[in-house]
């Protein structure tokens, strides 16, 4: 298994995995237009891969992407008296079903955790679903209280 940053050659697989991930947790989305989603996701992934803001990690086995984690860097406003480092927002964490519970995700997180340390990112934030809380805890993450949000209607 190879853990690396995603490349343009991975885009079609990443699009399909995002679709599958969504359907797995929300069957009602199955009726959405795959074509429309594919076009939108293609543009997002191309832009993300060309930016210094997004880092898409993949685990690959025999040229097949089996897991991915997306990380967006969030720049902080500088503060007097200290060096300001960005923090990382981790999202879209997904392993295809045949490879779950085999350590793939934990290897990915270990790689990303080391990368964040090496790059002096201040912290990593992730919003886990109820089923994934223990996965993050066993990989060094601390459960925090819910953040606050505003949702314009």
**Tell me: the pLDDT tens digits for 61-77?**
999 999 999 999 999 99
Q: What is the pLDDT of residue 91?
A: 96
* 85 within a domain of the structure (yes/no): yes
Q: What is the pLDDT of residue 108?
A: 96
Q: What is the pLDDT of residue 40?
A: 97
Give how far Cα 11 sits from Cα of 7, 24, 34, 76, 121, Å.
Answer: 7, 20, 15, 30, 26
* 113 within a domain of the structure (yes/no): yes
* 143 within a domain of the structure (yes/no): no
The pTM score is 0.92
CATH of residue 19: 3.40.630.30
Q: In the chain, how many domains are there? A: 1
* 34 within a domain of the structure (yes/no): yes
Residues 110-140 pLDDT 10s: 999 999 999 999 999 999 888 899 999 999 9
* 41 within a domain of the structure (yes/no): yes
Q: How far apart are CA 142 and CA 124, in angstroms?
A: 10
Q: What is the pLDDT of residue 153?
A: 79
Q: What is the pLDDT of residue 148?
A: 76
* 145 within a domain of the structure (yes/no): no
Structure-derived torsion over alpha carbons of residues 33, 39, 43, 49, reported in degrees to the nearest 10:
80
* 39 within a domain of the structure (yes/no): yes
Out of 9-18, 59-68, 79-88, least confident range? 79-88
Task: State which residues form the domain around 106.
Answer: 2-137
Q: How far apart are CA 1 and CA 20, in angstroms?
A: 21
Q: How far apart are CA 79 and CA 93, in angstroms?
A: 32
Out of 13-22, 41-50, 76-85, least confident range? 76-85
* 148 within a domain of the structure (yes/no): no
């Amino acid at each position: 298994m190879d853990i690396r940053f995603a490349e343009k050659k991975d885009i079609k697989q990443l699009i399909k995995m995002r679709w599958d991930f969504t359907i797995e947790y929300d069957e009602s989305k199955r009726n959405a237009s795959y074509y429309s989603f594919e076009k939108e996701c293609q543009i997002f992934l191309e832009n993300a891969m060309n930016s210094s803001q997004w880092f898409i990690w993949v685990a690959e086995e025999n040229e097949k992407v089996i897991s991915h984690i997306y990380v967006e860097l969030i720049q902080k406003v500088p503060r007097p008296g200290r060096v300001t480092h960005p923090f990382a927002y981790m999202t879209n964490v997904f392993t295809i079903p045949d490879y779950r519970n085999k350590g793939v995700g934990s290897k990915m997180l270990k790689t990303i955790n080391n990368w964040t340390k090496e790059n002096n990112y201040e912290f990593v934030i992730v919003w886990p679903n109820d089923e994934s809380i223990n996965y993050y805890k066993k990989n060094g993450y601390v459960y925090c209280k819910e953040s606050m949000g505003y949702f314009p209607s």
